[in-house]
């Protein structure tokens, strides 16, 4: 299989911290590859090393089978976690400024339409909402019609409607055959957008596959959520994994009927109980024992 990006044994450390600890993965053309994990897992550092923002301590990074060179810089688009734009320029002026930095340029009208920028083109970029700014930053990342697009937590802090707008844009980019690397800590986002996900913790990749395959491999059971506090000794007597999550108890079990029977036999209040199939967040909890952090 041909890969647009290959990363082999990547290491990057800071004083007292191994931020990236032997990371390896290969990304085929035309997929959305998700790099998931809590803050501090090493995913942003991994992406910044690949992008060339930081230098690796060790490791090999290949773009289209070769070392990264001027072509890599011209053919990738990058949306950082935080970006400060030039002041006193309109949205359209900002977009044109970045677009003119490249030899290859995306069609301006297509960019404006795809990123829903029509109504704010003549507005000062300092006076747009958070969701509007994220769409502008995404348009900037697409200004050179990139082969490979890096999106580093593009929906953090957005309301649900603004987040869905960004998802729509990413889906449109995928339909054009582009390759996307997405970092996120929103599991619903990863399940909606990513073809392959790699879960990072403490600088290492601890699992990697398609979301469906990962769930089939690690999470064949269900999650039972109870809003009330339960006696810990009782929970330990049940064949299950359980966690405290936002003042609720989440029980992961392969035997839901047996678990529910024990809860009822012990007169546990199950009012408000929710039973659902397990998702990527449950997978992370199972693999690391910690809750994903925002």
Backbone angles phi, psi at 40, to 5 degrees: 90, 0
**Are 270 and 181 contained in the same domain?**
no
Residue 294 belongs to a domain: no
Whether 288 is covered by a domain: the verdict is no
Q: What is the pLDDT of residues 6-17, one digit of tens each?
A: 999 999 999 999
* 77, 130: one domain: yes
Rounded to an integer, the average pLDDT of 228-252 is 77
Domain co-membership, 16 together with 79: yes
Residue ranges of alpha helices (H) inside the chain are: 43-51, 70-75, 91-99, 108-114, 130-141, 160-175, 187-193, 211-218, 232-236, 256-265, 280-288
Q: Is residue 44, in this structure, part of any structural domain at all?
A: yes
Co-location of 28 and 160 in the same domain: yes
Answer whether residue 106 is part of any domain: yes
User: Is residue 117 domain-shared with residue 246, that is, in the same domain?
Assistant: no
> Is residue 292 in some structural domain?
no
271 with 162, same domain: the answer is no
Neighbours of 217 (CB within 10 A): 11
pLDDT greater than 70 at residue 291: no
Backbone angles phi, psi at 154, to 5 degrees: -70, -15
Region 200-225: mean pLDDT is 89
CA–CA distance, 261 with 267 (Å, rounded to integer): 10
Q: Are residues 267 and 137 in the same domain?
A: no
Query: Is residue 236 very low, low, confident or very high in pLDDT (cuts 50, 70, 90)?
Result: confident
CA gap 294, 292 in Å, rounded? 7
- pLDDT number for residue 178: 96
Check if the beta carbon of residue 238 is closer than 8 Å to that of residue 253.
Answer: yes
Evaluated on CA atoms 130, 291, 54, 79, the torsion sign reads negative
Q: How much is the pLDDT for 290? A: 56
Residues 173-198 have a mean pLDDT of: 92
pLDDT digits (tens, 9 = 90+) for 73-117: 999 999 988 888 888 999 999 999 999 999 999 999 999 999 999
pLDDT at 294: 44
Per-residue pLDDT, averaged over 163-184, amounts to: 93
164 and 227, same structural domain? Answer: no
Give the domain extent around 107: 3-216
244 in the same domain as 174: no
Evaluate whether residue 71 is within a structural domain.
Answer: yes
Question: Helical H runs in 142-228?
Answer: 160-175, 187-193, 211-218
Q: Are 20 and 203 in contact (CB under 8 A)?
A: yes
Cα separation values, 58 from 3, 49, 50, 77, 218, Å: 21, 11, 12, 24, 31
pLDDT at 197 over 60: yes
Among candidate residues 216, 245, 266, the one where a domain is terminated: 216
Task: Check whether residue 131 and residue 148 sit in a common domain.
Answer: yes
Q: Which helix (H) or strand (E) holds 207?
A: strand 204-209
The Cα 174–Cα 179 span in angstroms is: 7
Instruction: Output the pLDDT for position 119.
Output: 92
Task: Report residue 1's pLDDT band, with 50, 70 and 90 as the boundaries.
Answer: low
Residue 30, pLDDT above cutoff 90? yes
* Residues 190 and 226 grouped into a single domain: no
Query: 142 with 250, same domain?
Result: no
- CATH number for the domain that contains residue 63: 3.40.50.300
pTM: 0.84
Could you tell me the CA-to-CA distances from 7 to 50, 107, 223, 233, 265 in Å, in that order?
8, 31, 35, 46, 53
* Beta-bridge mates of residue 27: 5
pLDDT at residue 288 tops 90? no
Number of domains the chain is built from: 2
Question: Average pLDDT for residues 52-59, to the nearest whole number?
Answer: 96
Residue 293 domain-assigned (yes or no)? no
Phi, psi (degrees; rounded to nearest 5) at 216: -65, -35
Are the C-beta atoms of residues 55 and 14 closer than 8 Å to each other?
no
Mean pLDDT over 209-217 rounds to 90
């Amino acid at each position: 299989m041909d890969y647009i990006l290959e990363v082999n044994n990547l290491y990057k450390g800071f004083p007292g911290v191994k931020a990236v600890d032997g990371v390896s993965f290969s990304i085929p053309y035309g997929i959305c590859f998700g790099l998931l994990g809590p803050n501090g897992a090493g995913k942003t550092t991994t992406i910044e090393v690949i992008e060339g923002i930081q230098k690796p301590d060790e490791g090999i990074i290949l773009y289209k089978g070769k070392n990264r060179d001027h072509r890599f810089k011209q053919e990738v688009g990058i949306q950082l976690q935080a970006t400060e734009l030039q002041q006193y320029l309109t949205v359209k002026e900002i977009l044109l400024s970045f677009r003119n930095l490249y030899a290859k340029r995306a069609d301006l009208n297509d960019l404006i339409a795809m990123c829903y920028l029509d109504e704010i083109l003549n507005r000062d970029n300092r006076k747009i909402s958070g969701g509007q700014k994220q769409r502008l930053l995404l348009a900037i990342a697409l200004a050179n019609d990139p082969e490979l697009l890096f999106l580093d937590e593009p929906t953090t802090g957005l309301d649900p409607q603004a987040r869905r707008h960004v998802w729509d844009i990413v889906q449109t980019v995928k339909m054009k055959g582009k390759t996307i690397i997405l970092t996120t800590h929103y599991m619903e986002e990863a399940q909606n957008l990513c073809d392959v996900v790699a879960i990072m913790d403490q600088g290492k990749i601890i699992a990697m596959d398609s979301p469906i395959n990962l769930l089939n491999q690690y999470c064949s059971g269900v999650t039972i959520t109870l809003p009330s506090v339960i006696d810990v000794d009782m929970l330990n007597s049940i064949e299950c994994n359980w966690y405290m999550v936002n003042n609720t108890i989440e029980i992961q079990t392969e035997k839901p009927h047996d678990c529910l029977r024990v809860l009822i036999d012990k007169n546990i209040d199950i009012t408000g109980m929710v039973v659902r199939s397990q998702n990527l967040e449950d997978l992370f909890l199972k693999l690391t024992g910690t809750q994903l952090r925002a």
